[in-house]
């Protein structure tokens, strides 16, 4: 028994090593990882990196273009430094994206484990998930915010609820396969309690697909949060949220196009970074690439 356990552990270490090696060979995934780490660094040290207070107004310097002395990325319609607002806005985008996905992941994984393992509860849970999936994602988020009201907290709640169905279906499909494995049936025969089987034996084997989807989901969550803020349902003025910054620049698209272009590029780069990492992880966790 001990020898079998050691062999299984060595095999798992070998698989992890191959996955990491595959990921490191993906240059685009490494680029995405670097950009994400850079954004995290900027968000953490925003007070030290921002040249100005992001809320400080100077009506004498309204809508100054990119490259203006003292304002590298120009100013907005209130004379606020756009670079400073971008730096502080990275905090909001990262927090909203990560928090909403983590909440959705926790609830979705829990429901997926229960639905996949218990046949009696499977039908009830999956019918509720089907009802949620019958609504388009953005429409569901808009309905939730309409009930709760605009604001970042409510955006996080809406995107979290929006994330639950896909996590649930993903984990359920994995559990339906894994619970038929010999080691799971052996644990059941030995009288191991269901929560231990789910957490110790089944969940670890679902981690790969969960990590891959969660990474990709963060990208879509950031984009969704920006879209809701653009519509005026997310971050409220004067918060330096990127989607709200794009929305504020609509009236100045001809006179000061940088008010839209600069935060729009910031959103694009952050979303692209998570997508690149997600694609790299998907390739690394693909069983056909480990042979």
91, 43 contact by CB (below 8 A):
yes
Any domain includes 46: no
Any domain includes 31: no
Any domain includes 52: no
Q: What is the pLDDT of residue 135?
A: 79
275, 219 contact by CB (below 8 A):
yes
Any domain includes 68: no
- How many domains would you assign to the chain? 1
* Interatomic CA distance for residues 260 and 66, integer angstroms: 12
CATH code, domain with 246: 1.10.3720.10
Mean pLDDT of 147-155: 87
Q: What is the DSSP string of 6-65?
A: HHHHHHHHHHHHHHHHHHHT-HHHHHHHHHHHHHHHHHHTHHHH-SS-TT---GGGTTPP
Q: Provide the pLDDT confidence category of residue 2 given band limits of 50, 70 and 90.
A: very low
Cα 61 to chain centroid distance, Å, stands at: 36
What is the H or E stretch that residue 193 is in?
none
Any domain includes 198: yes
Q: pLDDT tens digits for 91-142?
A: 999 999 999 999 999 999 999 999 999 988 889 999 999 988 887 777 888 8
Q: What is the pLDDT of residue 170?
A: 92
Paired residues of 81 in beta bridges: 75
Upper half-sphere CA count for residue 119 (Cβ side, 13 Å): 1
Any domain includes 29: no
* Interatomic CA distance for residues 283 and 27, integer angstroms: 12
Provide the domain limits for residue 151.
95-291
* Interatomic CA distance for residues 49 and 79, integer angstroms: 19
Q: pLDDT tens digits for 189-215?
A: 888 888 888 888 888 888 888 988 999
Among candidate residues 222, 228, 200, the one with its CA nearest the CA of residue 97:
222
pLDDT surpasses 70 at 28: yes
121, 115 contact by CB (below 8 A):
yes
Any domain includes 18: no
Any domain includes 281: yes
Q: CB-based contacts of 40: which residues, under 8 Å, 6+ apart?
A: 94
Between 164 and 184, whose confidence is greater? Answer: 164
* Interatomic CA distance for residues 272 and 142, integer angstroms: 24
């Amino acid at each position: 028994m001990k020898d079998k356990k050691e062999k299984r552990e060595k095999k798992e270490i070998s698989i992890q090593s191959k996955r990491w090696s595959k990921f490191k060979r993906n240059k685009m995934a490494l680029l995405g990882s670097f950009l994400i780490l850079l954004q995290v660094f900027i968000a953490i040290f925003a007070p030290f990196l921002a040249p100005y207070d992001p809320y400080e107004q100077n009506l004498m310097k309204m809508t100054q273009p990119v490259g203006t002395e003292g304002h590298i990325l120009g100013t907005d319609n209130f004379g606020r430094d756009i670079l400073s607002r971008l730096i502080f806005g990275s905090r909001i985008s990262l927090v909203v994206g990560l928090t909403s996905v983590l909440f959705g992941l926790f609830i979705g994984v829990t429901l997926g484990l229960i639905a996949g393992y218990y046949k009696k509860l499977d039908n009830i849970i999956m019918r509720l998930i089907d009802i949620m999936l019958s609504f388009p994602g953005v429409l569901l988020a808009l309905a939730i915010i309409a009930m709760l009201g605009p604001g970042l907290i409510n955006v996080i709640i809406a995107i979290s609820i929006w994330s639950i169905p896909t996590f649930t279906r993903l984990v359920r499909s994995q559990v339906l396969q894994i619970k038929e494995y010999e080691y799971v049936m052996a644990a059941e025969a030995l009288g191991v309690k269901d929560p231990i089987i789910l957490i110790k034996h089944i969940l670890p084997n679902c981690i790969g697909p969960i990590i891959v989807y969660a990474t990709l989901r963060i990208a879509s969550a950031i984009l969704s949060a920006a879209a809701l803020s653009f519509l005026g349902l997310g971050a409220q003025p004067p918060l330096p949220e990127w989607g709200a910054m794009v929305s504020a620049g609509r009236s100045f698209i001809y006179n000061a196009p940088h008010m839209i272009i600069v935060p729009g590029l910031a959103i694009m780069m952050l979303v692209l970074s998570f997508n690149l990492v997600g694609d790299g992880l998907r390739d690394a966790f693909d069983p056909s690439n480990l042979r």
